[in-house]
Structure 1
Amino acid sequence: MSRILITGGTGLVGTRLTEMLIAKKHEVVILSRNPQNKNEFKWDVSANYIDEKALIDTDYIIHLAGAGIADKRWTEERKQVIIDSRVKTANLLFNKITALNVHLKGFISASGVGYYGAITKQITFEETDNVGTDFLGDVCQKWENAAHQFSKKDIPVTILRTGIVLSKKGGALEKMKTPIIAPLGSGKQFLPWIHIEDLCLIYIKAVEENFTGIFNTVAPEHHTSITFSKELAKSIKKPYLGIGVPAFILKLLFGEMANILLEGSKVSAKKIEKNGYSFRFKTLKKALDNL
């Protein structure tokens, strides 16, 4: 049994991951701006504060905290919030474990497939490929750099570059369940995705099997906006409209943020499979049927 500290523990992934870790007899503590339960401890990044009791005897930190990428339009102020909520939080954790001389067994950080940039290409991106040159690429690179600093203290670092997380409640799938299902823009952009159960099991693998390095956490089956929409429409028995939502409308509504809806490339799951993870939900049909 390990003692695991989770940031972003009340979010979509953090909530389910906490349940699964506790079911496997791990002790989970959560950093929260407004602690409500006995396993939650206060932190305040603006005040450079973490309740030290949260860090005592901690074996692993799972860093999921970060303002939602697609929650609001990308003003310059919002962009800085997106970066700071990932980077400053990691820096605070690093400084506090250094000050308290906490000997972690591992630091496990979320990242995104946005690392490769919001672009549509026929190549399949692998973990060794270059970072994208757009805002998302910049966010993910800074996010990952903040995680890598833990290796300076001989702490193993695991980074999971995650696609769209599919879950029963909340998240992207709920927003996709419109009365009529249609692709976005050209529909040719790829949507790297993963079932929330698979993602949480990979985090658990990182804890229980000393699973370190950088990994794409996406299902092995590739889908475009068109094929994803067709599968979703069939699954929830809603009409499918083959005419895509026009790109100019999305750009009017969301500004620069529309790029993450209109662009996307294939992302490889081969490395994580070669490292011993077997997906429970390899196909979108199986994932949607389950959800």
Structure 2
Amino acid sequence: MQHILITGGSGLVGTSVTKNLEAKGKKVAWLSRNPKKYSQKSFYWDPKKGKIDEEAIEWADAIIHLAGAGVAEKRWTEDRKKVILDSRLNSSELLFNTIKKAKEKPQAIVCSSAIGFYGFDTGDRLIFEGDPPGNDFLADVVRKWEAATDKFQELNIRTVTFRIGIVLAKEGGALKEMLKPPVAAPLGSGEQYLSWIFIDDLARMIEYALENHGLSGIYNAVGPVPVSNRVLTQRAAEYKGKPFVNIGVPSFALKLGLGEMANMVLGGNRVSNEKIEGTGFKFEYGDLNLALGEIFS
């Protein structure tokens, strides 16, 4: 029976991946600061303190590395920015150093990253994995994060990194925030592209990367059809049965409320998934209506 260790296992993506893997008969454990808190088998770690139960690494045949503080949870003060970056670098460094010492090393590690790599706003140009990084706060975080996880390859471990788009899910993610106000409306111009992926497809993609030994390197984890902010908001409102007003929330109001973080929703990226589809991965929810139908069923 294959043993899979997950960092960030209790999050939106982690719980979905755990459910999938266990349904396939795999044994899953999480790395957690509070291992007793969960019914899930868990090992202790605290990346901030540089502490980890080394037995976790010996136990694992493969690792799924999803840990990192949420980028949209709190306003980006200088302290919060430091937390966002450090949570990614410290956890990756702790894993690397512990694996380096381990007698038994995992065969593969699947890491999360983000399409934020390309910058807040790349307009309507189709973006591929080989495109350069952006030059804003989030792009800088993702570039450093990927540099930290790239080091796993030095240990001769097959490493796959997914640049994840906007995750659509029942349990949370972007839609929950978009549909919070009493009336749904586009943000800014509403024309900015959103490269989205349905949570079930993302969980299956991560599992696919574990099982397919030919996969390594960086892949965009986005669905086949990016849509504008206006289209996504309007369709989601229809499925939710919520009023939609086709007047964009002004940029200045968003910047007033969110500060620098507003750039994340005012910009957009039209990202290609050609590379992962080229490996034979098939999307079950590549159509937005299918995904929204599943979410609001």
- Taking structure 1 as the reference length, the TM-score comes to 0.97
SS of 1:4's partner is strand
Which aligned segments of 4 or more residues in structure 1 are displaced greater than 4 angstroms?
none
Partner of 2:259 in structure 1? Answer: 255
Question: What are the Cα deviations for residues 4-37 of structure 1, in whole angstroms up to 9, with x where unaligned?
Answer: 1100000011011111101111111100111123
- 8 Å CA contact 2:169–2:199 kept in 1: the answer is yes
Structure 2 CA distance, aligned partners of 1:147 and 1:153?
A: 11
Gaps of 5+ in 1: none
Are residues 1:280 and 2:284 paired? yes
- 8 Å CA contact 2:124–2:193 kept in 1: the answer is no
Question: What are the Cα deviations for residues 126-147 of structure 1, in whole angstroms up to 9, with x where unaligned?
Answer: 0010011111111111111111
In structure 1, what residue type is equivalent to 2:167?
Answer: V
Partner of 2:111 in structure 1? Answer: 109
Structure 2 CA distance, aligned partners of 1:171 and 1:137?
A: 20
- 8 Å CA contact 2:57–2:106 kept in 1: the answer is no
Partner of 1:63 in structure 2? Answer: 65
Partner of 1:179 in structure 2? Answer: 182
In structure 2, what residue type is equivalent to 1:150?
Answer: F
**Residue 89 (structure 1) aligned to one of 68, 88, 91:** 91
Q: What pairs up with 1:181-200 in 2 under 5 angstroms?
A: 181-200=184-203
Structure 1 CA distance, aligned partners of 2:114 and 2:154?
A: 23
> How many angstroms does 1:80 deviate by?
1.1
Q: What pairs up with 1:148-159 in 2 under 5 angstroms?
A: 148-159=150-161
Matched-pair identity in %: 46
SS of 1:256's partner is helix
Structure 1 CA distance, aligned partners of 2:241 and 2:253?
A: 26
SS of 2:162's partner is strand
Are residues 1:202 and 2:205 paired? yes
Structure 2 CA distance, aligned partners of 1:100 and 1:82?
A: 28
Are residues 1:21 and 2:58 paired? no
Partner of 2:34 in structure 1? Answer: 34
> How many angstroms does 1:85 deviate by?
0.6
Structure 1 CA distance, aligned partners of 2:6 and 2:44?
A: 12
**Residue 143 (structure 2) aligned to one of 141, 144, 147:** 141
Question: What are the Cα deviations for residues 194-223 of structure 1, in whole angstroms up to 9, with x where unaligned?
Answer: 000000000000111122221101111121
SS of 2:48's partner is helix
- 8 Å CA contact 1:107–1:147 kept in 2: the answer is no
Structure 1 CA distance, aligned partners of 2:235 and 2:109?
A: 36
SS of 1:56's partner is helix
Partner of 1:10 in structure 2? Answer: 10
Are residues 1:229 and 2:256 paired? no
- 8 Å CA contact 1:3–1:59 kept in 2: the answer is yes
Structure 1 CA distance, aligned partners of 2:94 and 2:103?
A: 14
> How many angstroms does 1:120 deviate by?
4.0
TM-aligned CA distance change 1:120 to 1:188, over 3 Å:
farther
Structure 2 CA distance, aligned partners of 1:200 and 1:17?
A: 5
- 8 Å CA contact 1:150–1:157 kept in 2: the answer is yes
- 8 Å CA contact 1:190–1:264 kept in 2: the answer is yes
Structure 1 CA distance, aligned partners of 2:129 and 2:40?
A: 38
Structure 1 CA distance, aligned partners of 2:155 and 2:170?
A: 39
Structure 2 CA distance, aligned partners of 1:205 and 1:43?
A: 27
Of the structure 1 ranges 244-253 and 175-184, higher mean CA displacement relative to structure 2 is found in 175-184
Partner of 2:221 in structure 1? Answer: 217
Structure 1 CA distance, aligned partners of 2:49 and 2:183?
A: 46
Aligned length: 291
In structure 2, what residue type is equivalent to 1:196?
Answer: I
- 8 Å CA contact 1:83–1:139 kept in 2: the answer is yes
Structure 2 CA distance, aligned partners of 1:38 and 1:134?
A: 37
SS of 2:193's partner is coil
- Taking structure 2 as the reference length, the TM-score comes to 0.95
In structure 2, what residue type is equivalent to 1:197?
Answer: D
Structure 2 CA distance, aligned partners of 1:273 and 1:175?
A: 29
Of the structure 1 ranges 49-58 and 4-13, higher mean CA displacement relative to structure 2 is found in 49-58
- 8 Å CA contact 2:193–2:226 kept in 1: the answer is yes
> How many angstroms does 1:53 deviate by?
2.1
Question: What are the Cα deviations for residues 60-93 of structure 1, in whole angstroms up to 9, with x where unaligned?
Answer: 1111000000111111111111011111101000
Structure 1 CA distance, aligned partners of 2:48 and 2:17?
A: 26
